[in-house]
């Protein structure tokens, strides 16, 4: 007689429900505070420099103009923030934890907006507002680059919040389904299905029909009461075990679908963010490179 593998105890499930936040919490990262303080110190330094330059009111050569240097600094910060994708997807041998790189990506992205606003002394935000779509391409697409940067950072912050939301959903499912994450759930479902198939071997048609019917289902829990009375007494014990396995399988399938839905949501949002980031980086790079070639290095003639 085939035996049903032991399922997690009810006590373990209840304990998981009570402590899942602690069990599935990501370890704290010192990089969070390091990059926050470093970004804040950089912005305060540039802000003080900006206030001093406005107070002095002195004209400078393009290469020494502090406001132009702020633009170069903002472009450098954009490239440094983009290096997070390089570290995560392509050059994983780079030093440091991915989590620390993520905090660098987050804080530098936020501070880059403030530095870019200093670059034009908050133009297009507090004054010189864009009046038409044609204004976006003025000054070598300067306004378009600024708004692309703002939109990119806001989309990244939104994505970060959505990631945390979906991660909590994954953690809750993994801690309360009695098995764990997607791979563990799939393995448990396979074991349960194999157990039901072994219990069906040599049994009557109603027994097999019940198991085949509910193995084909993916969500609803089976109702075994109406079937059990029609079975021979010798099959009722195995039938009860098969019904328990099918019920556990149905519950795990629901948890599996929720986890997979959360994973798909996160992957799709990251794909959208990467597309937006690529488009924004092209606009920002065009503006920055053209300004460098024209006003700093004098390689291209001014308009």
| Residue 122 belongs to some domain of the structure | yes
Based on the fold, state whether residues 163 and 203 are members of the same structural domain.
Answer: no
| Residue 54 belongs to some domain of the structure | yes
What is the span of the domain harbouring residue 254?
Answer: 180-259
Based on the fold, state whether residues 225 and 291 are members of the same structural domain.
Answer: no
Percent of residues, the chain, with pLDDT higher than 90: 47
Based on the fold, state whether residues 152 and 289 are members of the same structural domain.
Answer: yes
Based on the fold, state whether residues 168 and 47 are members of the same structural domain.
Answer: yes
For the chain, give the secondary structure using H, E and C.
Answer: CCCCCCCCCHHHHHHHHHHHHHHCCCCCCHHHHHHHHHHHHHHHHHHHHHHHHHHHCCCCCCCCCHHHHHHHHHHHHHHHHHHHHHHHHHCCCCCCCHHHHHHHHHHHHHHHHHHHHHHCCCECCCECCCCCHHHHHHHHHHHHHHHHHHHHHHHHHHHHHHHHHHHHHHHHHHHHCCCCCHHHHHHHHHHHHHHHHHHHCCCCHHHHHHHHHHHCCCCCCCCCHHHHCCCCHHHHHHHHHHHHHHHHHHHHHHHHHHHHHHHHHHHHHHHHHHHHHHHHHHHHHHHHHHHHHHHHCCCCCCC
Based on the fold, state whether residues 247 and 191 are members of the same structural domain.
Answer: yes
| Residue 19 belongs to some domain of the structure | no
Based on the fold, state whether residues 40 and 132 are members of the same structural domain.
Answer: yes
Exposed, middle or buried by CB within 10 Å (0-12, 13-18, 19+), for 218? exposed
The larger pLDDT score, comparing residue 79 to residue 233, is at 79
pTM score of the predicted model: 0.77
pLDDT in tens, 235-285: 889 989 998 999 999 999 999 999 999 999 999 998 998 898 899 999 999
| Residue 93 belongs to some domain of the structure | yes
Give the contacts of 240 (CB within 8 A, at least 6 positions apart): 224, 228
| Residue 266 belongs to some domain of the structure | no
Percent of residues, the chain, with pLDDT higher than 70: 84
Based on the fold, state whether residues 139 and 286 are members of the same structural domain.
Answer: yes
| Residue 39 belongs to some domain of the structure | yes
Based on the fold, state whether residues 86 and 216 are members of the same structural domain.
Answer: no
Asked whether residue 136 carries a pLDDT value surpassing 70, the answer given is yes
- φ, ψ for residue 284, nearest 5 deg: -65, -40
Based on the fold, state whether residues 38 and 171 are members of the same structural domain.
Answer: yes
Based on the fold, state whether residues 189 and 170 are members of the same structural domain.
Answer: no
Number of separate domains in the chain: 2
| Residue 140 belongs to some domain of the structure | yes
pLDDT in tens, 72-113: 999 999 999 988 888 877 777 778 788 888 899 999 999 999
| Residue 25 belongs to some domain of the structure | no
Based on the fold, state whether residues 188 and 96 are members of the same structural domain.
Answer: no
Based on the fold, state whether residues 71 and 171 are members of the same structural domain.
Answer: yes
Distance CA 13, CA 248 (A): 13
């Amino acid at each position: 007689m085939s035996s049903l593998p032991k399922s997690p105890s009810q006590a373990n499930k209840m304990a998981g429900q009570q402590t899942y936040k602690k069990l599935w919490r990501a370890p704290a990262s010192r990089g969070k505070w390091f990059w926050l303080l470093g970004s804040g110190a950089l912005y305060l330094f540039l802000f003080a420099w900006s206030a001093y330059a406005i107070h002095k009111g002195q004209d400078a050569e393009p290469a020494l103009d502090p406001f132009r240097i702020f633009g170069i600094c903002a472009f450098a910060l954009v490239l440094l923030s983009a290096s997070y994708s390089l570290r995560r997807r392509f050059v994983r041998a780079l030093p440091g934890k991915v989590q620390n790189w993520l905090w660098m990506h987050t804080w530098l992205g936020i501070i880059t907006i403030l530095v870019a606003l200093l670059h034009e002394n908050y133009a297009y935000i507090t004054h010189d507002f864009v009046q038409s779509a044609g204004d976006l391409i003025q000054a070598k697409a300067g306004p378009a680059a600024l708004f692309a940067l703002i939109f990119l950072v806001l989309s990244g912050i939104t994505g970060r919040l959505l990631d945390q939301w979906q991660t909590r959903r994954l953690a809750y499912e993994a801690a309360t389904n009695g098995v764990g994450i997607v791979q563990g759930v799939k393995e448990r479902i396979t074991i349960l299905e194999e157990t039901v198939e072994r219990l069906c071997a040599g049994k009557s048609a109603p027994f097999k029909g019940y198991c085949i019917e509910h193995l084909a289902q993916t969500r609803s829990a089976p109702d075994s009461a109406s079937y059990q009375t029609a079975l021979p007494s010798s099959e009722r014990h195995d039938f009860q075990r098969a019904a328990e396995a099918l019920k556990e399988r149905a519950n795990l399938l629901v948890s599996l679908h929720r986890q997979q839905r959360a994973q798909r949501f996160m992957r799709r949002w990251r794909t959208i963010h990467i597309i937006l980031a690529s488009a924004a980086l092209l606009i920002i790079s065009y503006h920055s490179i053209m300004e460098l070639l024209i006003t700093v290095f004098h390689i291209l003639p001014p308009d």
